[in-house]
Amino acid sequence: MITIGREICGSFEESSSREWLETNGIGGFACSTISGANTRRYHGLLTAALKPPLGRVTTLSKFEETLVVGEERFGLSSNQFPGAVHPSGFQYLSEFRLDPFPIWTFEVGGFQIEKAIFMVNGENTTVCRWHIKNSEEKRSPLPKLVLEPLFSFSDYHSLQHRSDDPLMKFTERGNCITVRPLNDCPSVFVCHNARSIEKTGNWYLNFEYYIEKERGFDFREDLYQPFKMEFDLSKPAEVIISTKEYSVSNTEKLEKNESARRKHLVKIADCADEFSANLTLAADQFIVSRGEGRTIIAGYPWFSDWGRDTMISLLGLTLATNRQDAAKSIIREYSKHFSKGMLPNRFPDIGEDAEYNTVDATLWYFEAVRAYLEETGDWDFIESKIYPKLVESIVWHLKGTRYNIHVDTDGLLFSGEEGSQLTWMDAKFDDTVFTPRRGKPVEIQALWYNALRTIQSLADRFGDRDGAEQYSTTAEIAKESFHKAFWNSEAECLYDVVSNGDRDSSIRPNQIFAVSLHYSMLSIGHARKVVEKVESELLTPVGLRSLSPGDPAYRGTYIGSPLDRDSAYHQGTVWGWLIGPFIEAYRKVYPNGHQTSQKIKEYLSGFEAHLSEAGVGQISEIFDGDAPHHPRGCFAQAWSIAEVIRSLKAFP
């Protein structure tokens, strides 16, 4: 349980800077801020995934909530309008907690009102519940709750704006309201135990979303309110918003089932402490369905499932939480998407072909398979279903595949064409690629060598002697060439990119993978030098900087227009996920012992504090390079959570 008290809840600025997230295991989600004010275009109570895990549409944006006590009316909501916050429900908010769902406690009019929100796993369904927490005090009269639903019915990347044409129609049948939008969005069912429904039909205008404004995007939205609902709080007020029809009598059962599911996840993960338990629940929010299998959403609220992110995150989100079945399902599902020896970089939102513009997603797949086998020993599955795909992939890399990805005469892997960005440092604005890294990036060589040694070990196991010999020979050539090409004797670390005789001496975190991966090409002496360099110039309390502050190209803050942000994305911005490979590398070069354990605990302490800072219970995508390292980007990022979990489980 994570609890946030009145000092933060009672401040609009502080409570609006902290976000909550609920997900449904098929790509849909609900999220907003503790204050109740939406600050992003992506905030809403039900963003449904119509083609799991994608095809996401924001349906119900929020409720306007009013508590009526006698003749007094208290607005429990909060909204930012031009020059004003109205109403100011945050001032009544005494506590917010994850327990395990988002739960708010309001103290208002002599009553304690508790609100809870959760999503149902496997469905586009959000459940909301309000009740009087101190009803035993027999206060009279009991209050009423008035809810005014505000709908957007728009693609989740977009905003709704007032139109003269009607946005929707609704019909009532018993305790269920069917809301039918007049665009291409799905119908939504609002099931309830309200005592009365009143038709209205109002537009609420000019909601301002300050994060979108900060990001240089359209930041004002209009929302439609077709009816209002009045509840008698002598019993809990309950509303189920779903793309399927429900009876509100199911609310208690849905809550018990979802609570039990989450408790089971914590139990099987064998969590050592509350920090691990919170991370385990956070990890579950990224594991979603794709086809007949599973995949991983890269980040909320705007990312889809990306091949690179999925493979990097698999170890921490599934294996470190003892969800080997999910890991197997992901590995099997992605094996269906190989093309010319490559895994897709990402799956677009709706109806487009997968994009194969990455050099490292495929190589991370090899590491995911290796780690899965180490954890499970499931050799039969890998031999029959996966090994042929891996062999085919190596063949494609040897002879050449998309984007000029091919093995050079020195055994190292070359990649890149003009205008392409194939590594994880893939920021691009219009036609400008900020870190193209064409040629032979250092981490790609580390991953290539790791993949070769991985498939060599599989070939040995499966009796593929010719294959094993070829992979071993190629790996040895690559290792010898790597030492000659990449060691920067002046800086005592590795070059970032080698290309046609040019060597990029920028101090970046990519070199850490040459130490951290299971199979390493470096001697212990060189490995220790790399760790020392990364620690001294790139390490922060929340991950590694993407570029040394001493570099003229360093950018210490990630803020401003899309161009400003994209140009800073990998030029000093801190990435939380990089703490995992750093800790893995640190452990390799410094033998386990009390001092090493204390150091690792210190490196992870910043993330524990961060769980209450931005996305409550989650870890952000990125942070400013300059202190105090303000969180930026997605407030919930899969590989950030994954690598912290992996580090905790490996070095408790």
Asked if residue 623 lies in contact with residue 542, where contact means CB atoms within 8 angstroms, the answer is yes
Torsion angle defined by CA atoms of residues 280, 286, 291 and 293, in that order, rounded to the nearest 10 degrees? -30
Tokens of 610: 């961060």
| pLDDT tens digits, 434-473 | 999 999 999 999 999 999 999 999 999 999 999 999 999 9
Residues of the chain with pLDDT > 70, as a percent, come to: 98
Q: pLDDT value at position 433?
A: 94
How far from the centroid of its chain's Cα atoms is residue 550's Cα? Answer: 30
Contacts 24+ apart (CB under 8 A), 423-431: 423/358, 423/359, 423/360, 423/510, 424/308, 424/360, 425/508, 425/510, 425/546, 425/569, 425/570, 426/358, 427/566, 427/567, 427/569, 427/570, 428/566, 429/562, 429/563, 429/566, 429/567
Q: Is the pLDDT of residue 139 over 70?
A: no
Average pLDDT estimate for 103-110: 96
Asked if residue 439 lies in contact with residue 497, where contact means CB atoms within 8 angstroms, the answer is yes
Q: Which of 379, 356, 355 is nearest to 369 (CA)?
A: 379
Tokens of 621: 């995508």
Average pLDDT estimate for 239-258: 96
Asked if residue 616 lies in contact with residue 4, where contact means CB atoms within 8 angstroms, the answer is yes
Q: pLDDT value at position 501?
A: 85
Average pLDDT estimate for 35-58: 97
Buried b (16+ CB within 10 A) or exposed e, 481-518: bbeebbbbeeeebbbbbbbeeeebebbbbbbbbbbbbe
Tokens of 88: 């100011």
The residue assigned the tokens 């070199």 is 511
Average pLDDT estimate for 378-383: 98
Q: pLDDT value at position 364?
A: 98
Q: Cβ of 51: how many Cβ atoms within 10 Å?
A: 12
Q: Cβ of 466: how many Cβ atoms within 10 Å?
A: 8
Residues 6+ apart with CB under 8 A from 270: 322
Tokens of 532: 């020392």
Q: Which of 148, 149, 146 is nearest to 69 (CA)?
A: 146
Q: Is the pLDDT of residue 330 over 90?
A: yes
Average pLDDT estimate for 257-280: 96
Q: How far apart are the C-alpha atoms of 455 and 433, rounded to whole Å?
A: 33
Q: How far apart are the C-alpha atoms of 444 and 514, rounded to whole Å?
A: 9
Asked if residue 18 lies in contact with residue 612, where contact means CB atoms within 8 angstroms, the answer is yes
Q: Which pLDDT band, with edges at 50, 70 and 90, does 138 fall under?
A: low
Q: Which pLDDT band, with edges at 50, 70 and 90, does 652 fall under?
A: low
Beta strands 220-232; 237-242: pairing state: unpaired
| pLDDT tens digits, 483-519 | 999 999 999 999 999 998 899 999 999 999 999 999 9
Q: Is the pLDDT of residue 429 over 80?
A: yes
| Beta partners for residue 220, in sequence order | 208
Q: pLDDT value at position 136?
A: 59
The residue assigned the tokens 């580390």 is 446
Q: What residue type is 209 in one-letter code?
A: Y
Q: How far apart are the C-alpha atoms of 101 and 259, rounded to whole Å?
A: 8
Q: How far apart are the C-alpha atoms of 477 and 615, rounded to whole Å?
A: 46
Tokens of 391: 């062999």
Residues 6+ apart with CB under 8 A from 337: 307, 343, 344, 354
Tokens of 109: 């009019």
Beta strands 622-623; 631-632: pairing state: antiparallel
Q: Is the pLDDT of residue 128 over 80?
A: yes
Residues of the chain with pLDDT > 90, as a percent, come to: 93
Instruction: Give the count of alpha carbons within 13 A of 559, CB side only.
Output: 13
Average pLDDT estimate for 361-369: 98
Q: Is the pLDDT of residue 276 over 70?
A: yes
Q: Which of 275, 278, 340, 286 is nearest to 312 (CA)?
A: 286
- Round the average pLDDT of the chain to a whole number and report it: 96
What is the end-to-end Cα distance of the chain in Å, rounded?
A: 20
Rg (CA), the chain: 26
Burial class (CB in 10 A: 0-12, 13-18, 19+), 222: middle
Asked if residue 427 lies in contact with residue 570, where contact means CB atoms within 8 angstroms, the answer is yes
- Three-state DSSP class for residue 165: coil
| pLDDT tens digits, 565-620 | 999 999 999 999 999 999 999 999 998 777 888 999 999 999 999 999 999 999 99
Q: Which pLDDT band, with edges at 50, 70 and 90, does 166 fall under?
A: confident
Q: How far apart are the C-alpha atoms of 615 and 29, rounded to whole Å?
A: 14
Q: pLDDT value at position 89?
A: 97
Q: How far apart are the C-alpha atoms of 529 and 10, rounded to whole Å?
A: 48
Average pLDDT estimate for 110-133: 97
- Three-state DSSP class for residue 169: strand
- Domains of the chain by range and CATH? 2-260 (2.70.98), 269-650 (1.50.10.10)
Q: Which of 299, 360, 374, 286 is nearest to 330 (CA)?
A: 286
Q: pLDDT value at position 521?
A: 98
- Three-state DSSP class for residue 294: strand
Containing 84, the helix (H) or strand (E) segment is: strand 84-88
The residue assigned the tokens 């309110």 is 225
Q: How far is CA 476 from CA 49, 91, 100, 452, 602, in A?
A: 47, 65, 50, 10, 37
Tokens of 27: 């790509």
Q: How far apart are the C-alpha atoms of 48 and 248, rounded to whole Å?
A: 19
Asked if residue 300 lies in contact with residue 634, where contact means CB atoms within 8 angstroms, the answer is yes
Q: pLDDT value at position 467?
A: 97
| pLDDT tens digits, 47-77 | 999 999 999 999 999 999 999 999 999 999 9
Note the pTM of the prediction, 2 decimals. 0.96
Q: Residue 53, preceding bond cis, omega within 30 degrees?
A: yes
Q: pLDDT value at position 596?
A: 87
Q: Is the pLDDT of residue 350 over 80?
A: no
Q: pLDDT value at position 135?
A: 62
Q: Which of 72, 73, 108 is nearest to 90 (CA)?
A: 108
Q: How far apart are the C-alpha atoms of 648 and 652, rounded to whole Å?
A: 5
Asked if residue 341 lies in contact with residue 391, where contact means CB atoms within 8 angstroms, the answer is no
Q: pLDDT value at position 547?
A: 98
